[in-house]
Structures are given as C-alpha cells and as structure tokens.
Structure 1
C-alpha cells in the first residue's frame, strides 16, 4: 500500500474477524527499538475513556478486542505484534489507531525498514505498508482500522509526533499523569515452595519508590507512596483522584513469600498440586504434562489468553480436553494429545495439540495427520509443543498444505521454555488476577522445573556436536559441511532459550541481536555463521537486555574450550579519564576479581588491560599512554566450556547458562541502567 491508501479487509480474505498487525523496524547499530500502542476512538475521533489506550502499562482489553503480544527478533531488528479481535470491538468504536513510540530522545528517523503488515486468523499475509519519510518524530501512527457500515477497512497513515507517546495520547483525548509510576513491590525473600495460604496471606505494603522515568525516558525525581492525612473532625474526606494513564513504564511485582517451615527436618517435602516423582516413561510424561498445562490455561485466564492470543485465538470462554479420539478417513482414529476450544459470540475456535517431552522430536507424519483432520473438520490451528525452540525460516516439521482447500489451518510451535517464561513473567513481574492464580502458576513452574517432568526446554546440541568439535580440533572441518550448519542452528536455539530464561528472571525484554546485511534471510545468515565456525572454530551471539548500558556478547571458542562473556560500555561525554576509571572500579566493587577490564582507544581498538583484582588499587593503570582518546571499556569473564552435547553438569548447554548468569549478576547488574541520550 501507499501512504493515504485504504482497502476493505473483506476483499482480501474471508477470515478477518481476528487479525494480527505486525510492526517492524531495524537499526544500523542493532539496538534501536520502539513500543507499540493502540487507541480505540469513537465517531468524534476521541477515546471513550482512558482505558481505551493500550500500551506497555495496559497491554490487553478485558473483552479481548486488543492484546499486545510483545516483541520477537528478526534478522535486521524487531517485530512487535498486536492481536485485534474485530468481532469483539464495541459498537461505538469507529476507529482503531495503531502507533509506536520511542523514548530517551530517540527518533524514528534513526530506524530503518519501518513497516506494518496485517495477517488474518490463519496467518495469511493480507497487506503491507512501508514508511520511508520518518525523521524527528518520537511517536508514529502506522495505520488505522475503521468501520464503513458493517465492513472494516485499513488506512495506511504514516504520520508522526515530535512530542512522543504523551503527545499522541493527549491529542486523542487521553488525560496523562506524568508523575512517577506506581510500583507495587514486597519483601524480596525467596521461597522454594509457595502454598496457597502463603500467597493468600501476602499483601503488598506501601513502599518507597525508586526514581521513575519521565515521559521521554529521562530520570525523574524520587517519589514516595504515602497515605493521605486523615481528615480533621468535622471535615469531609476528599474523593480519591481518578487514576490516569502513565506513559512512564511501570513494573508490578508479586510477592515472593518465605515462611518458616513446620517440617521436623529437611527430608519432609511439601505436597505438590502436580506430583512428578512417579513419572518414568515418555508417554506418561507427555500425557501428564499436556493435562497439567491445559488445565492451568483454563483456570488462569491471563495465562491461557497469553499463550493462545499469539496463535490467533479470540478472547472468550476456554475449555481444554486431552486424549480426544477423532476419525481419520478410512484409517484408524487419531488421538491428539490435547484440544483447545475458545467460544466467542457463538463461534468456536479450535486447535489440536501435539506434545513431546524429554527431548523427543516431533514426527512429520503425525503432525500432517492432525493438519488434515483440522482442515476437514474446520478447525483453525494445530499447535506443536516440545523441548525444541523454533527458528525463523527453519520449521521443525515439514507438512504439505492442500491449497485447493478453502479452509486454512495454521501450524504453530510452542516450546516448554516459552511456557515457563510466560508463567514466570506473570507471577513475578506483571501480575495476575488473584492469589489462587498466582499459586497455580507457581505450582506449574515447580512441575516444569522438576527433573522428572521432561519439560526442560532445549537440552541437546544434536548428533553433529561431537564430530564438529573433533573436526575443529584436527582441522578437518571444511566450509559447506552440513554438520556445521546443524550446530549453528542448535546454537541459535540455545541463545533464544537463554533469552527466554533470563528475561523471565529479570522481568525485562531480552532479545538476540542478529547482525546481518539488510535483505539477508535467516538461512543465509546461518550459512555465513557456519562458514565462520569452520574457519575460526568459534560461535558468536549477542543479547540485548532492556535497560542495560550495552550489548552482552557471548563467544564459544571450540578450539580452546573457553566461553567468553563480555560487554562494552561507552566512555562518558564529560569529565576526566582518571575519574572515569575510578568510577568504573567503584561500580564494580562487587564484581568477580578475575574480571578482565580492557580500555578501548580511538584508532587503536584495545588499549591497557588487566584483571579487576590488579586494577582496583591503581585505577590509573587503565589509562593509555600519550593521552590517546578513550572511547570506552570492555569487560570480560572467561569460563571453561562443557564438552558434552547435553545439559548435564559437564554439558555445553549448562556451561553457557552458568556463564551468562554469572556475568549478568556479577558484572552487568552493577553497571546500572542505560544512561539517557544527550541532545
């Protein structure tokens, strides 16, 4: 589409009651990002109320008409997706505006490849619109959906605001509160188990607030929550002011409660809702895991909706079933592991579920049978669930789609690591509706993390791992070897899982950075990585952690058997080099003594270097001779690399997890948040 153009959705597809809009962008540095927002407008072009404004502090509508699905990395940047159920949109909503905003003084002119695409319920792309004239705007309207009689149409807008998200929201009738965002937090005690009574007894108390960012992302003033003074005798208490949307991001944490155990000794174990000690066989694990997950999805609406919205399911009453028998032509009936059904306005959305645990691979012929059954019975989706992590452009199973069929069935994949990530985000960082839901999700996490559940995520680098390592050692691995490509794909899966796990623990977005030339597809990018592995014997990855001051780099050197985790931080704009060095040493007071610190010098790359233990008494040793200009500092930790291909104590996957955890907790966490951009 071109700017200002419009098109009716009914002319593009017969299945547009529920659609997904994707907003894409990229940046030359790899760290440019934006946040999406949606506004529901009436016939006057204004919101009906502040609740019609959906953004990071208000990501979903109660009626299911709007849900922000979050970000996924692409080859050149990020993709942010929005689920819109047009059948659930209130009758007095005439327009749905889809926008995005940047913070910290960043502008959309710094991003490239700005694009919005729209797909129908089956995942078929219907339209796309690229924006090429972005400049100084910090908020941008990509497009809008609007009614014409009984039909919905899409208009390509492509207009921006220099005043950011607050200016955009105010223009559409939103009353913005720019004070510090509320932050509900409780005592950060950690408990191995949380019972229903413990969760129910936990009530957040008023606490001191940390400085909250303003609308543009710059630090604000400290604020303290306080109860208003009691009215004097004879005075009437003032009505509580209405809560208004805050464009400053806020985080809501649920309690991590620790109570004194009543057990006589440590051998006593708390009774679990989902016991796993008796699980021995793969089939038993699959049946139990499917039943546990599907039952929690129905009992915790926030969790069920979070998982199914990404697959195009509407918001509505959900029921789940296991071990359903379905006819399959003249053959024996098929029994998918589970079925999910969602009812909305008298219509049913149905997905078949095929589950694998304990690292067992999905079978193409089995998934193909379920796709055929779903197509014949008018079901909308088939969802595969396993320990494997799907990669963009590399499907886990190959299935054939009969294009002659009018009804389309979407094939989706979910990893157990993603399930654990979403559960952890809800109970630790975003919040759920009530204490019983929090306890159920806690029990689900306990189940998934138990050694007998078989739901541990990606745990095996594959059969090519040992031959590739041997080929690198004896220098017989040649470029173009398919085994090197297999190892690179396994490495990509591992890095995506590391992002999910770390993001769930921190409550922040953690995304892999994929540096490649624009227009390079995923298979070409991995082929280039495989050639580099054959030539250098190293695997590379970068993680972008929201709010941190740099990119976390991971290098696995298969020649030396060492893992390197590193981060580069830029030198301050003002002050003296010696002051920078002393400040950095103070920041790293709690960092490991074996941390390597390297000064980056303009035109020379690396400068003076040494361990933190040696530099602590003499920070001046970090300064280059001759007064060369310092551009930043590189901080690195080295660790021995596991040789086994699995997740055992001596395995490669465990060593990568441990290296990232140690580096983040010991180094990155001490550096503070990303500094605000200077004009």
Structure 2
C-alpha cells in the first residue's frame, strides 16, 4: 500500500487497473469513545468553485443523481470508526476537475481531540491502494483530508491535510456554496421545530426545506496558508479567498435551482422571491400509522408479494430468499445502489439473475445469483452465494466461485448469510493466485444488514415512489418472517455452553480458545443489535471499540477473552446518535444478569438539587426499577437508589459530604437468557430485548445534547 505524506500526489492508474470506482474512507479514533465527525464532498470546476450548491454532498444530501458520489455512512473500524464514500469516477461530469473530500465536527468540538486521523483509498476489488495518516490536524472544526483531481484522462489523489477554523460553513462558502443568512436559518429552525432542518411537504404543494449553517457564523476566518508541494510534486491548488455571508436582504450572487412547477413571476409583474433552499429530495416513506384494515376479522392475513408459507427446506429458503432480494435490488434503484456501492459497483442499470450455470472443470457450478451493472458500455459483475437458516458458508464452495470469477473477469463474489463479518476476521478464508492480473473482491452481507438498509429507506430516508416503498416493505416483511430463515446472527456457537459451565465451575483458564469464540460471537451480536436499533430509529448506532492506537483487532479480542476467563463478564459500548452518553451493555455470566446503563454528565450551571429534581422529572415514565447513581469526583461512589424510592425524595441523590457531582449513572438489570440460540429463553434474544427496553424506557426521556444545525451548511438547491 502506498503511504502518502502531506502535499504528495499519486496517479490512481499507477496503483491499480481497477479504479473506475473507488472507495475513500476517512477514519479517526476518540479516547472517550464518543468523538465523531461528518464527511462532506465538493465537486469543483475549473474555477475552483462548485457549479451550483447541488455539487455539495453531506449528511442531508448523501447521493448524487448521476451516481458519481455516494456517502456510504459509518462503520466501526479498529479503535474508532470509519466514514466511507463511494466514487464512480466514470460518472463524474466532464466539467468537474477536482473532488474535495472533507469532514467537520460540531458543537464546538475540534479535530485535535481525535486520534489516528487517516484517509485510505481502495479500488473496485476492495484492495487498499493508498493511506494518508494525519498527525497535525490542529484545533480546527473542519478539515480537508484530500482530493481527487484530473490530469488529462487520468485521475490522481492529493494528500491535502488542511484545516478550517470556521467549520464546514466557512469551508463550503470558500468553495462557492451559497449559505443561508442567520435570519433565514432562524426561520427555518422555527418552521422545522428542531426536526433536522427538513420540512415535510404537503401532498399537493411544493414545500421547501430550510436549514441553517452554524447560524452564528458572521465572518469567515482567513483561510490557512497554502500548502508547499513536495519536491518534484505538482503545484498545489490555491485556496480560494474567504467571503462573508451576505448581509440580510442582499441578493445572492449564485444562481439557485428553481423548484419544480414554480412560475417565473407573480401578478403585477413583480418577480417572485427565490424559493428557500432544499436540502433533500422529496421522497416517499411509509406512513407511521397503518391504515385501518378492511379484514372481516383478525384471522385474515393480507396477500403478500413474497409468500413464505410453502417454505419447507433449507434449499427452498435459499432459492426464495436469493430471488426475492435480487429482484427487489433490480427494481428499486436506491436499494440496489445502497447494497452494491460499498462493493465498488458503479451507479447504472442493474440486472440480476438466479441459478446461473457456469463451467468449472468437469462439473458446472451454479451460483445462487449474479449481479450485473452496466454504465457507459462497461459492465460490473459479481457472483452471489446465499445461506439461510443459520447455515454456514462452505470454504470450498466460495473458493470455487472466486476461481470462476477470476477466470471470467468478474469483479466480486458476494456472500449472504445470517452471520456477521468481523473486522480482520473473514468468515471464509480463500486463496488468491497472485500471478493473475485480474483481482476479485470477496464481500459479505448479513441478512441483518439487508433488513437495516431496507428499514432506513422506507421508514426514514425515503425512495423515489410509492411502488418502490411497497416493494421494500414486502421484502422487509419477508426477511422478518419466521419461515424465511433470514433472521441474522442467531447462535452463540458451540463454545457457549462449555464456557458458561467453565465460568460457573471456575475451571475456565486464560488462553482457552473457546473463550475467544464466545467473544467473537458477542461482537457479532452487538453489531447486529446496533443494526436493528439503528434501522428502527433512523439514526447512526455503532459499537464503540476502545483500544490502543493501531492495535490489531485480534489482540483486542484476545484481551477480552482473558477478561472473560478472569471476571466472567462480557462488555460492550454502543454509541447512539444524539444520545447524551454512551450506552453500556454488560453480561455477567456468573450471576446470569444483564446490565444496561448510561452515564449522563452533570449540567455546567445551576444547583445540584435542581439537577436531581429535573432528572427525576425527566424520568417520570421510566421503569420504577431503574437504578440511579450519583457520580462524584474522586474514588468514592455517590448515593444511589431505585427510581421508585427516589421519586418522592430526589434530594437523596445529593452526596452528604458535599463532593462535587460529575454526572449520574442510570442502569437497568435483567435476567440473562441461558441457551445459545435466539429462542425466547436464548441469550441473543435477552440482549436484544435489554437494549431496546433501556433505549425506549430510559434514553428517550433524557435531554439530548445541543442539536447541530441541519446542514451546518444549508446550500440552496442541494436537492441536486
């Protein structure tokens, strides 16, 4: 892998032959486990500016209509998280010369509070081509990691490493993005009533979405000094001079996209004022409240697009699940693109096939499915191997498909099963022939990930039309039906029972490989719980991985296995977007108890008695058996008690010795399932139920941190 330094550049074609589509990953770690940032992308023309605000992509405008840019979202990586961006370089418009890749922090946070900042770039086969580690980000709130740029017909990457004190608003303005003034931002916030800057359109009207961009920004700070190119390198682009946000009432110098169906003027010849900027396309989502059924009685069941009653064997389940999934991927472009963009597939016309026969020695092979995506006369192809009902992928079968794909020029092999892949620990070990010029990527999807993406689209982000929403709903119903066999991770493995028995008998020794198997299963379970909760909430829900900088994932799991042998406990932390703290899940195998908890920081101002009274009022609808503990400075613990006891006497939470209160820990305890499976009495079900109960019963009642503005840059016409 090519290691880069600040200011260096490299041609992508010199690193790989498969760079029509690339994945750029921005990564960081946080000592506290809850530090985060948001990625953004700007497409710049020859003038170094965006052509219009639609060339600015961020968390409220994540996908380009032409498929050239797709923000793929966050995923846990090593000791932190990684935000991935898919680029189809063949689809980037001809007038675009540079693609700036940046990230920003919010609520006063700075990049020097994060560790291990880095940017990596992988080709279409998933092989990492280059890495740019960043050690000197500085106390800035926005940061340009790097940029892709053209030199003739070739795409190159430059390691920029440049910060902005003015945050994403200042960065966006410097590149020509039109930012709403403070008054407009306040109006938008009032109209949206705090709903992430997006205003719902009436069924027949053309609504608008207003959003503020850190409305306190009045003057952009001077841009950083220009970078000095490395010896022999190409000259670096000049940074555009900063410009002030326009004064209230002044006309904007940028041309805004006119909303569909709007007339050019008003009666009396007075020109109509430009519509407010839209930060998201109008999309169709399912109504939150289901319509009343026309069934004669409750025993009637609605007809389904994908019936499951006739599924009797594993083969039937695999065949049906593959056909159902691939057909919906081909018919709902947003969904198909969501699942394949992370594999390096371009945005284009997708066709899917099942039960295809391909030659392989004396015996033809029949993969479960084939994906083919066509764009500009080029094909991206992948073989699909599916398992359901907890069946494991077979190494020899996947290896045969990898060999077939390499010989026939396929770009990837995609496996689907109930299992969840772990970082640095592939589900199937395959061998690759290094002599072959054509490389084949091996990717894995869990059925839980497929269901998560369907939930995000139909319940939160929306799709193009009601027919697509209905298809996704039918797919989701199929995946969640007990007969489908597509239930995600549902077995803690053969080591679960002997490890539990060894902990009870105190005979489990450190270094026992069975303990490592249980730790890996625990990590898969937590990842799946995050997918399920995130799909229901429409928010980012990620496991927190605390480890030494640059630590190998295997070493981290080995330490967790030793802790399990020593203490008899499994422990995980979950970061829920907009939650006031990190949710902790602990399973004590000695006592058979699950503990879910969250630490809420104490307010910076006010009186302690008012703090505890307000906390108890906020938890009026929380479970009576919720344990509340006061956190104080020093080693000593503070007062504690159940919510039932504290409701009439909140002052009991105040420390008697006057110690300074730093926060409060809220905990729920629940009996732990004993069996290794996903039945009602199983461990997996009990963990999932405990996390959902704690979120719905406790977290939803707590104060959220100060909400960031909907765009932290609200471009006009960002709907693209």
TM-score (norm 2): 0.87
Q: Which moved more, 1:377-386 or 1:75-84?
A: 75-84
Distance 1:424 1:233, change over 3 A: closer
Instruction: Provide Cα deviations, 1:588-634, integer angstroms capped at 9, x if missing partner.
Output: 01100000000111103421110000000000000011211111100
Q: CA deviation at 1:279?
A: 0.7
In the alignment, structure 1 residue 277 sits paired with structure 2 residue 276: no
Equivalent of 1:38, from 41, 44, 50?
Answer: 41
**What's the offset of the Cα at 1:57?**
1.0
> What is the correspondence of 1:67-466 to structure 2 with a 5 Å cutoff?
67-177=70-180, 179=185, 180=188, 203=203, 215=214, 235=268, 239=272, 241-244=274-277, 254-329=286-361, 331-466=362-497
Q: Choose the corresponding residue for 2:598, options 556, 563, 567.
A: 567
Aligned-partner Cα distance in 1 for 2:404–2:438: 12
Question: Cα distance 1:83–1:478, how it changes in 2: closer, same or farther (>3 A)?
Answer: same
Report deviation, 1:519. Answer: 2.2
How far does residue 155 in structure 1 lie from its aligned partner after superposition?
1.1
For 1:292-319, what per-residue CA distance to the aligned partner results, in whole angstroms no more than 9, with x for missing partners? 0000001100000000000000000000
Q: 2:508 aligns with which of 458, 468, 477?
A: 477
Q: Does 1:15 align with 2:48?
A: no
- What residue number does 2:692 align with? 661
Is the CA contact (8 Å cut-off) linking 1:164 and 1:216 kept in structure 2? no
SS, match of residue 515 in structure 1? coil
Deviations 1:458-495 (A, max 9, x none): 00001111111111111111111111100000000000
- Please give the alpha-carbon distance, in whole angstroms, between the structure 1 residues aligned to 2:470 and 2:122: 36
Q: Say which SS state the counterpart of residue 67 (structure 1) adopts.
A: strand
Q: Which runs of 5+ in 2 are unaligned?
A: 196-201, 218-262, 709-720
Query: What is the alpha-carbon distance in structure 2 between the residues aligned to residue 658 and residue 349 of structure 1?
Result: 41
Is residue 638 from structure 1 mapped to residue 669 from structure 2 by the alignment? yes
Counterparts of 1:582 and 1:206, CA distance in 2: 45
Matches within 5 A, 1:52-63: 52-63=55-66
Residues 421, 551 of structure 1: alpha-carbon distance in 2 compared, 3 angstrom cutoff: same
CA contact (8 A) 1:549 1:675 kept: no
Q: Identify if the C-alpha distance between structure 1 residues 676 and 86 changes in structure 2 by more than 3 Å, giving closer, same or farther.
A: closer
- 1:649 aligned to 670, 680, 683, which one? 680
Per-residue deviation, 1:236:
5.5
- Return 238-247 or 381-390, whichever deviates more: 238-247
Partner residue in 2 for 1:197: none
Q: Give distance in 2, aligned partners of 1:504 and 1:203.
A: 25
Q: Could you tell me whether the CA contact under 8 Å between 1:647 and 1:654 is conserved in 2?
A: yes
Distance of 2:109 and 2:204 partners within structure 1: 35
Q: Would the alpha carbon gap of residues 570 and 206 (structure 1) be closer, same or farther in structure 2, given more than 3 Å must change?
A: farther
Q: How many residues align?
A: 648
The answer on whether the counterparts of 2:284 and 2:458 sit within 8 Å (CA) in structure 1 is: no
Give the Cα–Cα distance (whole angstroms) in 2 for the partners of residues 120 and 206 of structure 1: 41
> Distance in 2 between the 1:298 and 1:31 partners?
37
- How many angstroms does 1:215 deviate by? 2.4
Distance 1:206 1:674, change over 3 A: farther
Whole-angstrom CA distance in 2 between matches of 1:431 and 1:351: 27
- Aligned match of 1:599: 630
> Is 1:176–1:246's contact at 8 Å kept on the other side of the alignment?
no
In 1: Cα distance, 2:206 partner to 2:19 partner: 46
Relative to structure 1, the CA distance from residue 312 to residue 36 in structure 2 (aligned partners, 3 Å threshold; closer, same or farther) is same
Aligned positions of 1:602-641 closer than 5 A: 602-641=633-672
Alpha-carbon deviations, 1:523-563, whole Å to 9, x = none?
11000000000111100000000101000000100111100
1:464 and 1:484 in contact (8 A); partners too: yes
Q: CA deviation at 1:207?
A: 11
Change (3 A) 1:569 1:214: farther
Aligned equivalents of 1:57, 1:233: Cα separation in 2 = 31
CA-atom RMSD in angstroms: 2.5
Farther off after superposition, 177-186 or 551-560: 177-186
* Contact 1:460–1:646, Cα closer than 8 Å, also in 2: yes
Q: For 2:498 and 2:133, how far apart are their aligned partners in 1? A: 45
TM-superposed deviation, 1:213 = 7.2
Deviation at 1:521, TM superposition (A): 0.8
Q: 1:612 to 1:170 in 2, by over 3 A?
A: same
CA-CA distance at 1:245 after TM superposition: 6.0
In structure 1, what is the Cα distance between the partners aligned to 2:698 and 2:204?
Answer: 30
In the alignment, structure 1 segments of 5+ residues that lack a partner are 187-201, 219-229
Alpha-carbon distance in structure 2 between the residues aligned to 1:356 and 1:9: 36
Distance in 2 (CA, whole Å) between partners of 1:204 and 1:233 is: 20
Q: Is the 2:579–2:705 Cα contact (8 Å) retained in structure 1?
A: yes
Name which structure has the greater RCO, CA cutoff 8 Å, separation 6+: 2
Which stretch shifts more, 158-167 or 539-548? 158-167
Q: Following the alignment from structure 1 to structure 2, what is the Cα–Cα distance between the partners of residues 251 and 617?
A: 48
Deviations 1:383-428 (A, max 9, x none): 0000000000111011100101110000000000000000000011
Q: Secondary structure of 2:666's match?
A: strand
C-alpha change, 1:671 and 1:420, in structure 2 (3 Å) is: same
Structure-2 separation of matches of 1:429 and 1:470: 44
Change (3 A) 1:206 1:578: farther
* 8 Å Cα contact 1:608-1:622 kept in structure 2: yes
